[in-house]
Structure 1
Amino acid sequence: MDDLNRLHPTGEGAQGQLLEDCSIQSQDGRIAVYFRNLDQHVIQEIAEADIVLGCVAWLTNFPILEALTVKRNVSIIVQKEDFLRHDVPGHEQWKTRLRGLYDSLSCELEHHMFGDNLLSSVSISTVHGMDPVRCVGNHNRDRPKAFPRMHNKFLVFCRERSHAELLVSKPDGYTYIVPYAVWTGSFNFTTTATLSLENALVINEKNTVRAYYREYGQIAALSERLDWAREWAAPEWQIEG
């Protein structure tokens, strides 16, 4: 499979030159822009986080999944319709390995850890905890070319902090999720995406990060467990009044 990032411009004066990597970081360090080697950049961000949350349409890139397996807390929502869409040869072996990596992911988060996120108000215990990967969507039975999807591609990187560490006057002994950065852009977490022309942003601005954190919570509250066989999506978590 050809890597579009290895193409050479053919115009006069540019022949033989590889595409320039225009990646850059803002002067204040709050924004980083990436155009090449996106899988390596997101793996580095994952390595530095305590908790990884997010909504990603497709999550099938093995190196990225392997990086996630070493985290104690991962919660990612994928789109339902064809989350098993393979992009490498050998579908059955690929599917077996993908499921093995999904099964290796861990999530020990509890609702009280989410603070002002919607997930702090859901009955997570009704599904015996949180699954590391869940899905949102409809069954695309007739497969029209245009169909609504959960098409996000973002991760929220978080710290795990106690009330005492957060300088709360009366710590309660619990630990809490503290989001600090967001990864977003066009990049699907697939093998094909690493060969495509894509972009990504890493944002460390507090209000922007909080917005993505809250949106993740809303989508997660709509999600269902992966069933690898069941056709129809149905929200499982109940919002407490």
Structure 2
Amino acid sequence: MIINNLNELLIPDADRKSQPLDNFNTQSDTTSVYFRDLEKHLVNHIKSADIVLGAVAWLTSYSVLDALAQDDKEVVFVIQKEDFLRPDIGAKNDFKETLRKKHNKLKNSLTRYDFEGTILPNMSYAGDPSIDPVTCVGNINNAKAAAFPRMHNKFIIFAKKDIDYDVPDDPESGSRMKISPYAVWTGSFNITKNAGMSFENALYITDMTIVNAYYQEFSQITALSESLNWFKDWVEPQWRIGT
């Protein structure tokens, strides 16, 4: 029998009916671990956040993209440059067009200056401070090498919009908006439909030491990113430290 969703496999039993897989999703004070229904849990976490930041190899799950596009959510994702339009499982002929449309529905009004405490405010500070909702980083494997370096991360940061009361309520003083990260999602789970049918795992972590480490790493990867409409096969950051 062919079963496409590995999570629906049964464990053979010699003495009785084959057994379904147990669900060992569990949580502690600062960490939740997921082995089943990962996409559903990720979507729920996205719905609770004001700001969602991610460094993920692929972003092709329609369910996740639809959740990211809801309300006035601020979204900034960096994805792997090489093959972000690689068809997902069950993709139709219009997959690339549909994916582009879903990317275009994502919104972000955050600027590099809003990422206080990271490297981003120092990048091309005399230039346009805006950040596209989806950018990319990496190289193109034109030689079709069997092994090739990639931006292969799979982490997503959830944050709230807060008011920074240390900044005067004066338009000339800059934004009073403050990004307050509170959790990170990480693990083996690619943000694809195929991953939802695979054996995967994810951790949802609220320990602020860990969350802040991921926030800083996200900022560094974003500093190296470039437009999805890239022009060069090799990494070509759109900004630099300084002017």
TM over 0.5: yes
Distance in 1 (alpha carbons) for counterparts of 2:92 and 2:129: 31
Correspondence for 1:163: 164
Q: Does 1:191 align with 2:187?
A: no
Give the 3-state SS of the residue equivalent to 2:194 in structure 1.
Answer: helix
Deviates most, 12-21 or 200-209: 12-21
How far 1:231 sits from its partner (Å)?
3.8
Correspondence for 1:54: 54
Q: Does 1:200 align with 2:202?
A: yes
Structure 1: gaps (5+ residues): 165-169
Query: Alignment RMSD, CA only?
Result: 1.9
| Percentage of matched positions with identical amino acids | 43
Give the 3-state SS of the residue equivalent to 1:92 in structure 2.
Answer: coil
Distance in 2 (alpha carbons) for counterparts of 1:134 and 1:140: 18
Q: Deviations over 1:124-162 (max 9, x none)?
A: 673561110100101111111110000000000001111
Correspondence for 1:63: 63
Matches within 5 A, 1:51-200: 51-70=51-70, 71-123=72-124, 126-127=127-128, 129-164=130-165, 170-173=166-169, 174-200=176-202
Distance in 2 (alpha carbons) for counterparts of 1:225 and 1:142: 23
Distance in 2 (alpha carbons) for counterparts of 1:114 and 1:184: 21
Give the direction of change, closer, same or farther, for the CA distance of 1:24–1:90 in structure 2 (3 Å limit).
closer
Count of residue pairs the alignment pairs up:
234
Correspondence for 1:167: none
Give the 3-state SS of the residue equivalent to 1:134 in structure 2.
Answer: strand
Distance in 2 (alpha carbons) for counterparts of 1:134 and 1:47: 22
Distance in 1 (alpha carbons) for counterparts of 2:214 and 2:15: 43
Distance in 2 (alpha carbons) for counterparts of 1:78 and 1:35: 23
Which runs of at least 4 in structure 1 moved beyond 6 Å after TM superposition? none
How far 1:229 sits from its partner (Å)?
7.3
How far 1:7 sits from its partner (Å)?
0.1
Distance in 2 (alpha carbons) for counterparts of 1:72 and 1:224: 22
Q: Does 1:31 align with 2:31?
A: yes
Which amino acid in structure 2 is aligned with residue 95 of structure 1?
Answer: K
Structure 2: gaps (5+ residues): 170-175
Give the direction of change, closer, same or farther, for the CA distance of 1:178–1:128 in structure 2 (3 Å limit).
closer
Deviates most, 89-98 or 190-199: 89-98
Give the direction of change, closer, same or farther, for the CA distance of 1:92–1:233 in structure 2 (3 Å limit).
farther
Q: Deviations over 1:84-136 (max 9, x none)?
A: 11123455311111000001101110222111111122236735611101001
Q: TM-score, normalised by structure 1?
A: 0.91
Distance in 2 (alpha carbons) for counterparts of 1:206 and 1:59: 26
Correspondence for 1:44: 44
Correspondence for 2:241: 239
Distance in 1 (alpha carbons) for counterparts of 2:91 and 2:24: 35
Q: Deviations over 1:138-195 (max 9, x none)?
A: 111111111000000000000111112xxxxx43341111100000000001111010
Give the 3-state SS of the residue equivalent to 2:142 in structure 1.
Answer: coil
Give the direction of change, closer, same or farther, for the CA distance of 1:229–1:236 in structure 2 (3 Å limit).
closer
